[in-house]
Amino acid sequence: MTQVQQIVLAKRPVGDVTLDCFREESANLAEPADGQILVRSRFLSLDPYMRPRMTELRSYTPPFELGKPLTGGSVGEVLESRNPRFAKGDVVIGMLNWATHTLHDGKGLRKIEPDTVPLPAHLGVLGMPSFTAWYGMKHICKPKAGETVFVSAATGAVGQVAGQLAKLAGARVVGCAGDDEKCLWAVREAGYDACFNHRTERDLGAVLDKLCPQGIDADFENVGGKIFHAVFERLNNFARVAFCGAIAEYQDTQPMAGPPKMFTIIQRRLTIQGYVVSDHVALMGDFVNEVGGLLKAGKLRARETVVDGLAKAPHAFLGLLRGENFGKLVVKVA
């Protein structure tokens, strides 16, 4: 029996998530049964998609269960194994509980080589967020040299990679972020042509007109809401929208209306495509080759924010939903 700390869903949020939606508790895990492994979490990824999972709405991932630990992409170490696929000491990646330890049947977990890059990178620039950026940019936005690409949440875990991939494709890349420091980093370090602070700009349309004088050919949309509406109006003929996140809507109690004038979709021959990267795991190898290669060659920068201690995960998650993190947000569990 192993005593563990875990964070469970105490109640479902209505509107903004509050700290009392979470409860930290101790629990006793049984010994691994046949086929099970006991995994000690090292790093837990916090991502915006977790917000919709806290409610009961039909989504691409099932809702978290009340009174049960939340789960999230994690890197952990196998402490005990009664599963032939894993051995004690293996470092694994996959969905684990928001907990110090998880009893797991091994499904969906995969072993990683722990020494190639720092462990949190497997949850960020070599993990799901970066894979999301790569898929959307490569398979939906398909920027051509000279085109203008817009990336909302330019320095987020996903956006920072999306923007750099567009830049490497020869596009003019414009983004927005929630504070001036992030905007500065986007331009100086990630190579964006321009990045504006969407909290201090009063007229999103005007700033987009200024920074995207040729309109927008591809929109990497991971925010939604009023920024998306302003971008939508400025999409060029045959523009592509890769839609993978709508954090601006996640805490709405009343569903927000879509952008006005859907006829624009016809006039400009737009393609708006929603996607969830877990549908495309077959391409994971291509992604790792390509993005791993860029990383090795020093052609890709990635920021991350590491929060120390599982107990701080709820507070950090609230900050994530307010855009307070810089780059990939990871919790160091142990």
Distance between CA atoms of residues 326 and 127, nearest Å:
17
| Burial category of 139 from C-beta neighbours within 10 Å (exposed 0-12, middle 13-18, buried 19 and up) | middle
Distance between CA atoms of residues 281 and 126, nearest Å:
13
Phi and psi for 38 in degrees, rounded to 5? -105, 125
Number of residues that bind a copy of itself (CB under 8 A): 36
Distance between CA atoms of residues 180 and 174, nearest Å:
14
Tell me which residues in 17-46 interact with a copy of itself (CB under 8 A).
none
User: Candidates 64-72, 101-109, 157-165, 260-268 — which segment interacts with a copy of itself by CB under 8 A?
Assistant: 260-268
Tell me which residues in 203-232 interact with a copy of itself (CB under 8 A).
224, 228
User: Candidates 62-70, 76-84, 123-131, 239-247 — which segment interacts with a copy of itself by CB under 8 A?
Assistant: 239-247
Distance between CA atoms of residues 204 and 101, nearest Å:
45
The yes or no reply on residue 12 touching a copy of itself (CB under 8 A) is: no
Among positions 6, 36, 47, 52, the unique one binding a copy of itself when judged by CB under 8 A: 52
Q: Mutual orientation of helices 225-233 and 204-211 as an angle, nearest 10°?
A: 50
Q: Which two tokens stand for residue 24?
A: 């930290």
The yes or no reply on residue 58 touching a copy of itself (CB under 8 A) is: yes
Distance between CA atoms of residues 216 and 147, nearest Å:
8
Distance between CA atoms of residues 140 and 149, nearest Å:
12
Among positions 77, 189, 249, 290, the unique one binding a copy of itself when judged by CB under 8 A: 249
Tell me which residues in 286-305 interact with a copy of itself (CB under 8 A).
none
> Shortest Cβ distance from residue 217 to a copy of itself (Å)?
15
x/- map, 269-288, a copy of itself, by CB under 8 A: xxxxxxxx--x---------
Kindly list the residues in this chain that would bind a copy of itself in the complex (CB under 8 A).
Answer: 52, 58-60, 224, 228, 237, 243-246, 249-250, 255-276, 279
